Amino acid sequence: MGSVKRVGQTSHRMIATNGIQMHVAEQGDGPLVVLCHGFPELWYSWRHQIDALADAGYRVVAPDQRGYGQTDRPEGIEEYDIVHLTDDLLGLLDALGEERAVFIGHDWGGPVVWNLAQRVPERVRAVGALSVPFVPRGLRDPIASMEATFGDNFFYILYFQEPGVADAELDRDPEDTLRRALRATSVRETSQGLRPIPREGTGWREWLPEPGPLPEWLSAADLDYYVAEFRRTGFTGGLNWYRNISRNWEITADLAQTKVEMPALFLAGAQDLVALFMPDTHMDAWVTDLRVRVTLPATGHWVQQERPAEVNEALLSFLASLD
């Protein structure tokens, strides 16, 4: 399983799972809670939650997911489909010697944990998502639907589809890339995030506003950690998750009628851009035991970093309901 490196109270190690080496941060003892980050993030996105949950009596594990940070970055695009991503978490459970866990995901981590709850409910004690609600499988390939919706207007998910294009732009200056990503979808910049702009000739930097001062929830040291990791790895691993959206739709046909029936949580910022194209209107019909549902006012997309105290309170309330 590799050697354990301790940083403060949090230990770090590499774990073999599903054919890759996965870096995890872990802390505490008790029922297992696995925290799954999104794009462009890392285990570090949960830095405010790890201590709080561990101090409350939980074993907390936050991985760098496939393609990110110190975890392996396979070359094949199809190695980042939803089956690989969820199988990574199943292998993680096995490596940790745990039969079940509570899985909490933010951003892309949300679809991963929702899908895991559908695929293998016996391994998921409870499930929670931040920012990205459960969305049932549609009748049409989501990328085709986005093409029809956005037409000649730029949309970042469509821009991410062609291998090598967004990669080159985002890799060119990781600090600028991350400043734009983390600032532009924080609450003070929400009005600029999805403004109409022609698709032709537009890239990441034309779409997102010029990076100004860091938002108050992100310190220079925090940004430095992200930048150092993405400067080393590039962004291709994370972008490959987007390049499997059509494939994910194709290979999950068997789950089209599967509801999420274990205890669940959903938490989002009231000014999160994701709500504009992924509304939570289907949650009540498809998530049958939605115990905690919170919308934080004056909050954008990076909820667990923007409002850690409120997120921790919601998570601990949810976890307490499982006892």
* Digit-coded pLDDT (tens) for 182-221: 987 665 454 455 668 899 999 999 888 788 889 899 999 9
Report pTM. 0.95
% of the chain with per-residue pLDDT over 70: 94
Helix ranges restricted to H, 39-119: 47-55, 82-96, 109-119
Residue 172 has pLDDT above 60, yes or no: yes
How confident is the model over 94-145, as pLDDT tens digits?
Answer: 999 999 999 999 999 999 999 999 999 999 999 999 999 999 999 999 999 9
Task: Give CATH superfamily name and number for 5-320.
Answer: Alpha/Beta hydrolase fold, catalytic domain (3.40.50.1820)
Over range 234-250, report the average pLDDT.
Answer: 98
Residue 163 identity? P
What residues does 22 pair with on adjacent strands?
15
Catalytic residues: 107, 301
Residue 5 has pLDDT above 60, yes or no: no
Q: What is the pLDDT of residue 230?
A: 98
Q: What is the pLDDT of residue 279?
A: 87
Report the C-alpha gap between 94 and 120 in whole angstroms.
13
Residue 100 burial (CB count, 10 A): 16
How confident is the model over 285-320, as pLDDT tens digits?
Answer: 999 999 999 999 999 999 999 999 999 999 999 999
Helix axes 47-55, 308-320, angle to 10 degrees: 40
In the structure encoding, which two tokens stand for residue 315, read together? Answer: 């998570």
